[in-house]
Amino acid sequence: MKAVPAWLSYSIYRVLMFAVPLTLLLAMQITWWIAALVAALIGVCLSYLFLRKPREKVALGLYQARHPSQATVHPDADAEDASIDRAADESLQRERQSE
């Protein structure tokens, strides 16, 4: 069985850290929008305090996805670079001959 991805477990924990306080506040019959605001603040504080390692794993995964260890090289890149260099050399030679 595969391990749960870090982003999924982190997201579930974050939702729970919002939903549980919201449910408790609504059970105490606090106005829904005040309960939502307070639950959001509680969720942010709890996740900041207790979810450091999962947050770092998610951040590392995002960084690695955005900055791969090896640069992606187009198969024709070398041929295109050589063609450009040849064209530049030819134009430079023509300029020298016309002088």
pLDDT confidence of residue 1: 63
| Domain encompassing residue 23 | 6-70
| Residue 78 belongs to a domain | no
Specify the DSSP class assigned to residue 75: T
Residue 54 counted as domain residue = yes
Residue 20's pLDDT is 97
> Using one digit for the tens of pLDDT, what is the confidence trace for 45-97?
999 999 999 999 999 989 988 888 876 667 777 778 888 888 888 887 887 88
pLDDT of residue 79: 78
Residue 1 identity (one-letter amino acid): M
Domain count along the chain: 1
| Structure tokens, 17 | 């850290």
Q: Which of 22, 23, 13, 6 is nearest to 49 (CA)?
A: 13
Secondary structure of residue 5 in the 3-state scheme: coil
